[in-house]
């Protein structure tokens, strides 16, 4: 069984993100990392590798620097690495088309991906790729287990945890999983250095960047938080209690 993990390289959660004339100033970002939800997908893929002997193919789409996220994936155990090299914007349909072609190229019947990327939060990649491939899609997954002819997945719903079964081929879009991504050890890091990364272009996949689907037009900083309120003395207790209950909704 081949399992594809779709990995996106995003600014690390600790990195400062600046915006210049409506777009993120990528050159100023000090640290890039694998998007956190993709990490849960990767960890689940690696447990399929050790549990059912699956071959894990890590796929990323992005500029040259994104290769680092594939090397990081290889350091924890990904077997094969595929980089669709593309710099600059890409319409959502072209992106999903490219990734689904990449999945077809590597011959994976199971696709694991984060439910949304930490930078764009768009949440469309998993379902979009599933649609293009005509695979089943299970969203908000926290755990998957391989069965005899498919998978059992645990996913969160508003009322609690739900278990579903799904047959191959399928896409799982991961929420926060049960297990954090394993830490690489020295052996893995040294092996990753030797692992080849297959680099291909959108054209190699027969995909045009038509800008179809959803494209980002501009980004802006979130609104500044209103200033905090200050209370002094025991006399304010009643007022504070009311505000905590009615404004902050914390009691």
Partner 1 sequence: MGYEALDFYDVDSLLTDEERMIRDAVRDWVDESVIPKIENACREGVFLDEWRQDIGSMGILGAPLKGYGCPGLSYTAYGVICRELERGDSGIRSFASVQGSLAMYPIWDFGSEEQKEKYLPGMATGELIGCFGLTEPDYGSNPGDMVTKATEDGDGFVLNGAKMWITNGTIADLAIVWAKLDGVIRGFIVEKGDPGFSAPEMKGKHSLKASVTSELVFQDCRIPKDRILPGVKGLRGPFSCLNNARFGISWGAIGSAQACYDSAKSYALSRIQFDHPIAAYQLVQNKLAWMLREITKGQLLAYHLGKKKDAGEWIPEHISLAKMNNVDIALEIARVSRDIHGANGILDEYPVMRHMANLESVKTYEGTHDIHNLILGRHITGIQAFTKGA
Residues that bind partner 1 (CB under 8 A): 14, 71-72, 75, 183-187, 189-190, 192-193
Which is nearer to partner 1, 193 or 230 (by Cβ)?
A: 193
In DSSP notation, 194-237 reads HS-EEEE-TGGGT------S-------PPPPPPPP----SGGGH
Contact indicator for 84, 96 with CB cutoff of 8 Å: no
Closest CA to 167 of 142, 135, 139: 135
CB of 21 to partner 1, least distance (A): 27
- Cα gap 81→66, rounded to integer Å: 12
CB of 197 to partner 1, least distance (A): 13
Contact indicator for 36, 13 with CB cutoff of 8 Å: yes
Count Cβ atoms within 10 A of the Cβ of residue 197 and give its class: 0-12 exposed, 13-18 middle, 19 or more buried: middle
CB of 39 to partner 1, least distance (A): 12
CB of 190 to partner 1, least distance (A): 6
Give the β-pairing of 23-24 and 136-146. Answer: unpaired
In DSSP notation, 38-67 reads HHHHHHHHHHHHHHH-PEEEEEEEESGGGH
Which is nearer to partner 1, 193 or 225 (by Cβ)?
A: 193
CB of 75 to partner 1, least distance (A): 6
Which is nearer to partner 1, 183 or 230 (by Cβ)?
A: 183
Which is nearer to partner 1, 19 or 190 (by Cβ)?
A: 190
Which is nearer to partner 1, 1 or 71 (by Cβ)?
A: 71
Which is nearer to partner 1, 131 or 195 (by Cβ)?
A: 195
CB of 24 to partner 1, least distance (A): 21
């Amino acid at each position: 069984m081949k399992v594809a993990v779709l990995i996106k390289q995003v600014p690390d959660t600790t990195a400062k993100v600046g915006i210049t004339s409506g777009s993120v100033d990528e050159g100023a970002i000090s640290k890039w990392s694998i998007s956190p939800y993709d990490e849960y997908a990767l960890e689940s893929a690696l447990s399929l590798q050790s549990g059912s002997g699956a071959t894990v193919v890590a796929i990323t789409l992005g500029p040259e620097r994104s290769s680092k996220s594939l090397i990081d994936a290889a350091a924890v155990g990904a077997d094969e690495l595929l980089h669709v090299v593309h710099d600059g914007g890409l319409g959502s349909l072209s992106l999903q088309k490219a990734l689904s072609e990449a999945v077809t190229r590597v011959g994976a019947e199971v696709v694991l991906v984060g439910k949304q990327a930490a930078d764009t939060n768009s949440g469309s990649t998993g379902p979009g790729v599933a649609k293009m491939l005509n695979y089943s899609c299970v969203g908000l997954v926290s755990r998957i287990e391989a069965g005899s002819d498919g998978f059992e997945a645990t996913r969160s719903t508003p009322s609690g945890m739900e278990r579903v079964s799904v047959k191959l081929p399928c896409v799982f879009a991961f929420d926060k999983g049960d297990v954090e991504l394993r830490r690489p050890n020295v052996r893995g890091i040294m092996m990753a250095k030797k692992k080849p990364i297959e680099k291909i272009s959108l054209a190699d996949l027969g995909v045009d960047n038509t800008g179809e689907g959803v494209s980002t037009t501009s980004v802006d900083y979130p609104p500044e938080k209103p200033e905090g309120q200050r209370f002094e003395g025991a006399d304010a207790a009643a007022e504070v209690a009311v505000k905590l209950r009615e404004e902050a909704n914390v009691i």
